[in-house]
Amino acid sequence: MKSGTFENELTVQTHQQKGTTEEFHQAYEAAVETVRDELGGEYPLWISGQPVETDDTFTVTNPGDFDQVIGEFSSGEPTHVDQAVEAASGAFDDWRNTSWEKRAEIFQQAADNIRDRKYELTATMALENGKNRGEAIAEVDEAIDFLQFYSQELERNNGYTFDRGEPTPNQHCTNELLPYGVFGVVTPFNFPLAILAGMTTGAVITGNTAVVKPASTTPLIAHKFIEILNEAGIPDGVVNLVTGGGSSVGQPLIEHEDVVGFAFTGSRRVGLTIQETFQEMGKRGPVVAELGGKNPVIVSDTADLSKAVSGVKLGAFSFSGQKCSATSRVYVHEDVIDSFTERLVEETTELPIGVPENEDTVVSPLIDDSALDRYHKICDLARQDGKVHTGGEQLTDPELPEGRYVQPTVVTDVPHDHELATEEHFLPFVTIHPVSSLDEAITKANDSDYALCAGLFSENQEEIDVWFDRIESGMCYVNRSQSATTGALVHAQPFGGWKFSGTTGKFAGGYWYLPQFMRQQSRTVVGDVGNQ
Ligand code: NDP
């Protein structure tokens, strides 16, 4: 196993350093063609190492090209959840007694398998969830990092077994972190590989078993991940995949009495339902949930406006703002707000909108019709209650295939407490607000139920110190022109939120993530024990 210092997988940067960027693009483009040719298959559930067919199926289409069918997927029902939980329960004893070295080895092998298929997976994402090229390869890198890092963490912590020796004579004590049992893992569409791989690995590498339900819009990449785990040697029943809807699969999974813990990433509504259901049912296991965001950026009058405009534009609009970390409200000092807004609007109108697999696309299509409806509704509201400087319309470009392409939208003149500036939209939509001081800006930035990501643009160290001291946010970025609030590297920038943005305060890709999936046992043996 690779051990010692953790190294991130940085595909694009590595190619740039070696001067082989063109090779990267060629490999990606070839993979898009191969994956496109393979689309349209039929995919069963995967329970106890076996395919399971269902009576009903659902069709997934490419959000950027409705003519392209991604595949036909089995639609799970509560009985399939029962079947999968039974399989996971049955596999639990053997798996928890499998040495931590073996568990780490399997996930290390899976990381290698993802690396071998990185272009295929990146291309799959472009076609299935519309993620643009740069974002998609970064997500595949992140998935590799999660598996690699968690494997290393198991090793660094000696499988979370600590021998305390003899604190008093003749009394030998060890401390262990042990798995709970069966975890439900429910994942969102927007990071369909990294989040699915990260949460599943967190639950399972620590000795639990799992039933995984991916978002209904992104089941293909979930199937590919299960295939990768199988090829890496995960025993049957340890990870089971049940595709299907939130109410027919997700809810029964939450309510299943043998599901003792839950890993979830998605909306606040569903995340809180899981917590409430666990409480009502008296379940004692953890709910490790990463939820939404309404991420604020502050632009001080000392800011370098080029950095600020670039950071806000990319933070708000790349992948059409469909990220929990997307920049969504910007508090700009009144002395620079006109110039900032003018430049942001100008650069936003130049952003390439298009099919995700194109090299230069930044603003890619929206995932589904409900996102498109939300887009129209909030843009109408913005026109009514504020001022839309650019955007607000769906694209009807005859050059584009039929898909959900919309314009990135910049809005001013809505109050800070307006629903457009307080609710998460998950769309390419940003509101700009004037402030007269850093103090006012921080107070407004913190005035939210969410606290996931936050950004500051300032060239003044004192302002930066004050901001770090007062900002309520899990992830904090200063002067980040490549994106004001999005993007995180495993190990260096563990990812998670405070307040209603997360339930545990311990972040994915960080040192304290894995222990959340285990409970402690202290073991004491007095005297020498023979073998009678
Ligand atoms: P949803 O909460 O709608 O869906 C997430 C998952 O939950 C999907 O698999 C969905 O299934 C499932 N689900 C829906 N209803 C239920 C239910 N009643 N019981 C159980 N499961 C259910 O979120 P989105 O997929 O739309 O993702 C966007 C949200 O995720 C945003 O709020 C975003 O901020 C958050 N997010 C947070 C991240 C973080 O790290 N903090 C990272 C990424 C996203 P189905 O698809 O079948 O409806």
pLDDT tens-digit series, residues 393-404 = 999 889 999 999
| Residue 494 in contact with ligand 1 by CB distance below 6 A | no
pTM reported for the whole predicted model? 0.97
pLDDT at 51 (0 to 100):
98
420 lines ligand 1 (CB under 6 A): no
Catalytic residue among 128, 153, 255, 290: 290
Check if 500 has its Cβ closer than 6 Å to any atom of ligand 1: no
Distances in whole angstroms, Cα of residue 114 to Cα of each of 2, 121, 226: 16, 8, 11
- The answer to whether 198 touches 145, Cβ cutoff 8 Å, is no
Residues whose CB is less than 8 angstroms from the CB of residue 361 and which lie 6 or more positions away in sequence, other chains included: 132, 133, 352, 353, 354, 355
**pLDDT for the residue numbered 531:** 78
Q: Is the CB of residue 322 below 6 angstroms from any atom belonging to ligand 1?
A: no
User: Is the minimum distance from the CB of 209 to ligand 1 under 6 angstroms?
Assistant: no
Determine contact, residues 366/372, Cβ cutoff 8 Å.
Answer: yes
For the CA of 292, the closest atom of ligand 1 is 34
State residue 529's pLDDT score: 86
Helix, strand counts (H, E) of the chain: 16, 22
Please tell me the residue having the least CA distance from ligand 1 atom 22.
246
Catalytic residue among 142, 155, 324, 463: 324
Q: What is the pLDDT of residue 4?
A: 60
Structure tokens at 461: 């160290």
The parts of the chain modelled with pLDDT lower than 50 are 1-3
- Strands annotated E in 214-249: 239-241
453 belongs to the catalytic site: no
Q: What is the model's pLDDT at position 1?
A: 47
Ligand 1: residue whose CA is nearest its atom 35: 266
Q: Which residues pair with 186 in a beta bridge?
A: 213, 264
Residue 425 Cβ contacting ligand 1 at under 6 Å: no
Instruction: Count the alpha carbons within 13 Å of 87 in the hemisphere toward its beta carbon.
Output: 26
The residue whose CB lies within 8 Å of the most ligand 1 atoms, and thus the one to mutate among 56, 190, 259, is 190
Q: For residue 3, what pLDDT is reported? A: 47
Structure tokens, 235: 């025993």
Distance 265 CA to ligand 1 centre (A): 6
Question: Is 290 one of the annotated active-site residues of the chain?
Answer: yes
